[in-house]
């Protein structure tokens, strides 16, 4: 039986706008997330979040106490360039991450840095956002600024977090306005984002020769609902659109043929200029980040059925999701063999093992689980959070990782989402993921005190035993 590697990166993750707060301090410009209204008027915005911007030292000390070997966080682009591409970077913004990185290194915690995690500077959005081809150079310049500032100390870089969500849920993630969110625009934008990513990846490899650089994709294992060939086909179609479209572009420099056929059928093929495909091919990212929370299950969707965009479960009540249906391609359905979270996310550790096998089999590059965790309603009782359900979820998923390692997958790290409670993208502070509790409610900031949950101590033991716990 193989074990996790000796230097396995046992980590935990956050993203800037979900954890930092200080949305308008020290010269930070607005990001699209500061401008976007919360999807549900009962949940909080991102203005204070977990106040990590003011409490980073205390937070890093707790991470060290947990024994983390790695911490994945993102840089807020609009802290560095308030308008996205200002003439000079904002010194105070640069300084914030500089201190954070030094503090992590002091405790021997490896920083894993994401450049862009959903929080595009609003000023760039006003200039057309990702539909504007200037974004290729603008993103590269921002990336180069970060490489120059931190490349002497940061080895692991992630260019874009969950590009597939940014495209598929473009309205919700603030990448496109409702009236602009045609499929044509989404996949035009996707193409430009891929070029920007390729350029920034290339710059990373040039500027930091020992760097490991890649993307983090929101990966979904896709099952057919039955062994009916039509259902098997539907699952394969979904896989192509959800996973392979993005990974093939980034890691092979080509459009996946099934995904391309889908784009043609939806009148959504992007404009490809001379040199674009060469640029994609030349990028050469050297690891793959996978964010995995759940699997999905698919049936055939006949041409005469109704198109349904599908929605995110905003209420946190089981059974209220509206499933996606795309005539001729796929239709989502509930998997009767899997339990779900309160937000209808299927809990499926075997799905993670399959994900790792599929991705490794296809690209043969080292993989890092850049996010995996359980969103739940936690309660603080007598000063404690007994989150056994989270421990159970993590234990099974980590075991699935070990099985994947035994299947031959080159897995280099695993990051729990999230290191500390933070604002869920769609569900505010009600849906918590952290190993550390933050004492605030949706609208009552209370004292924002940090309280390690039961899972914090459990994960510390996992790390200490290199996963044999």
Q: Catalytic residues, which ones?
A: 162, 371
With CB under 6 A as the contact rule, which of the stretches 49-57, 224-232, 417-425, 454-462 interacts with ligand BGP?
417-425
Q: Residue 222 pairs with which residues in a beta bridge?
A: 296
Greatest pairwise CA separation for the chain in angstroms: 64
Please report whether residue 430 would count as binding ligand BGP according to CB under 6 A: no
d(CA 92, CA 364): 40
One symbol per residue from 6 to 45: x for binding ligand BGP (CB under 6 A), - otherwise; what is it? ---------x--x---------------------------
Among 50, 159, 291, 403, binds ligand BGP (CB under 6 A): 291
Residue ranges in 206-235 that form contacts with ligand BGP under rule CB under 6 A:
218
Sole window of 64-72, 239-247, 418-426, 447-455 interacting with ligand BGP (rule: CB under 6 A)? 418-426
List 140, 188, 371, 378, residue binding ligand BGP (CB under 6 A):
371
Decide: is 159 part of the binding site for ligand BGP (CB under 6 A).
Answer: no
List the one residue out of 4, 30, 6 whose CA is nearest residue 17. Answer: 30
- Nearest CB to ligand BGP, comparing residues 234 and 346: 346
* Contact assessment for residue 197 and residue 205, using Cβ atoms and an 8 Å cutoff: no
Count of other CB atoms within 10 angstroms of residue 257 = 11
| Smallest distance from ligand BGP to CB 142, Å | 19
- Using CA atoms, how far apart are residues 442 and 425, in angstroms rounded to an integer? 13
What is the residue whose two structure tokens read 């290729």? 136
Residue of 20, 34, 140, 162 interacting with ligand BGP (CB under 6 A): 162
Contact between 427 and ligand BGP by CB under 6 A: the answer reads yes
For residue 243, the 8-state DSSP code is: I
Judged by DSSP in three states, 379 sits in: coil
Q: How far is the CB of 449 from ligand BGP (least distance, A)?
A: 22
Cβ nearer to ligand BGP, comparing 18 with 203:
18
DSSP state of 433: -
Question: Does the protein bind ligand BGP through residue 161 (CB under 6 A)?
Answer: yes
Please identify, among the stretches 198-206, 318-326, 421-429, 442-450, the one whose residues bind ligand BGP according to the rule CB under 6 A: 421-429
Closest residue to ligand BGP, based on beta-carbon distance: 424
Please answer whether residues 111 and 74 qualify as being in contact, where contact means their C-beta atoms are separated by less than 8 angstroms: no
Task: List C-alpha distances in Å: 250 to 136, 168, 217.
Answer: 15, 17, 11
Q: What is the rounded CA–CA span in Å between residue 352 and residue 175?
A: 28
Considering only the stretches 27-35, 43-51, 144-152, 158-166, report the one whose residues sit in contact with ligand BGP under the rule CB under 6 A.
158-166
Of the candidates 183, 207, 320, 325, the residue with the CA atom closest to the CA atom of residue 262: 183
Element (H, E) at 299: strand 295-299
**Minimum distance of ligand BGP from residue 15's CB (angstroms):** 5
Query: What residues between 174 and 213 interact with ligand BGP by CB under 6 A?
Result: none
Contact region with ligand BGP (CB under 6 A), list: 95-103, 203-211, 223-231, 426-434: 426-434
Backbone dihedral angles phi then psi of residue 216, each to the nearest 5 degrees: -125, 120
Q: In the set 50, 424, 430, 455, which binds ligand BGP (CB under 6 A)?
A: 424
The residue from 96, 173, 330, 417 that contacts ligand BGP (CB under 6 A) is 417
Distance of alpha carbon 182 from alpha carbon 170, whole angstroms: 10
Q: List residues bridging with 330 in a β-sheet.
A: 326
CB-based contact 420:434 (threshold 8 Å): yes
- In the bound state with ligand BGP, the residue whose beta carbon lies nearer, of 15 and 296, is 15
Count of residues in contact with ligand BGP, rule CB under 6 A: 15
Instruction: Give the integer Cα–Cα distance in Å for 22 and 144.
Output: 25
Alpha helices in 85-220 (DSSP H): 91-106, 122-125, 135-150, 163-168, 183-207
Query: Taking CB under 6 A as the rule, does residue 431 contact ligand BGP?
Result: yes
Give the one residue of 375, 413, 434, 467 binding ligand BGP; rule: CB under 6 A: 375
Give the residues lining the site for ligand BGP (CB under 6 A): 15, 18, 161-162, 165, 218, 291, 371, 375, 417, 424-427, 431
């Amino acid at each position: 039986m193989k074990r996790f590697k000796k230097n396995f990166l046992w980590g935990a993750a956050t993203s800037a706008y979900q954890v930092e707060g200080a949305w308008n301090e020290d010269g930070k410009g607005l990001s699209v997330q500061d401008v976007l209204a919360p999807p549900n008027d009962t949940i909080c915005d991102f203005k204070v979040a977990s106040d990590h911007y003011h409490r980073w030292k205390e937070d890093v000390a707790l991470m060290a106490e947990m024994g983390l070997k790695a911490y994945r966080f993102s840089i807020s682009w609009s802290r560095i360039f308030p308008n996205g591409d200002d003439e000079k970077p904002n010194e105070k913004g640069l300084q914030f991450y500089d201190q954070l990185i030094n503090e992590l290194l002091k405790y021997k915690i490896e920083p894993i840095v994401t450049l862009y995690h959903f929080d595009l500077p609003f000023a760039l959005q006003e200039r057309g956002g990702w539909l504007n081809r200037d974004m290729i150079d603008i993103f590269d310049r921002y990336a180069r600024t970060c490489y120059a500032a931190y490349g002497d100390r940061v080895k692991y870089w992630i260019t874009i977090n969950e590009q597939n969500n940014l495209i598929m849920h473009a309205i919700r993630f603030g990448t496109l306005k409702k009236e602009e969110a045609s499929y044509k625009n989404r996949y035009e934008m996707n193409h430009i984002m891929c070029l920007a990513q390729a350029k920034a990846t290339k710059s990373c490899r040039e500027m930091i020769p020992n760097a490991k650089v890649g993307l983090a994709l929101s990966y979904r294992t896709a099952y057919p609902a039955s062994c009916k060939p039509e259902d098997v086909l539907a699952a394969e179609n979904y896989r192509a659109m959800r996973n392979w479209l993005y990974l093939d572009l980034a890691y092979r420099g080509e459009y996946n043929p099934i995904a391309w056929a889908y784009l043609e059928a939806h009148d959504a093929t992007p404009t490809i200029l001379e040199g674009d495909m060469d640029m994609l091919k030349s990028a050469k990212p050297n690891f793959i980040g996978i964010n995995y929370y759940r699997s999905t299950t698919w049936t055939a969707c006949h041409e005469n059925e109704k198109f349904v965009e599908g929605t995110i479960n905003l209420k946190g009540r089981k059974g209220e999701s509206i499933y996606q249906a795309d005539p001729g391609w796929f239709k989502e359905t509930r998997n009767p063999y899997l339990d779900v979270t309160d937000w209808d996310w299927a809990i499926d550790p075997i799905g993670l093992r399959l994900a790792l096998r599929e991705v490794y089999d296809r690209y043969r590059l080292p993989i890092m689980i850049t996010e995996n965790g359980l969103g739940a309603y936690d309660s603080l009782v007598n000063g404690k959070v007994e989150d056994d359900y989270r421990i159970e979820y993590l234990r099974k998923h980590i075991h699935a990782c070990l099985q994947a390692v035994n299947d031959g997958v080159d897995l280099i790290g695993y990051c729990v989402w999230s290191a500390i409670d933070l604002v869920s993208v769609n569900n505010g502070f009600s849906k918590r993921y952290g190993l550390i509790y933050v004492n605030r409610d949706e609208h009552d900031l209370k004292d924002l005190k940090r309280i390690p949950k039961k899972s914090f101590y459990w994960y510390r033991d996992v790390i200490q035993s290199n996963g044999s716990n």
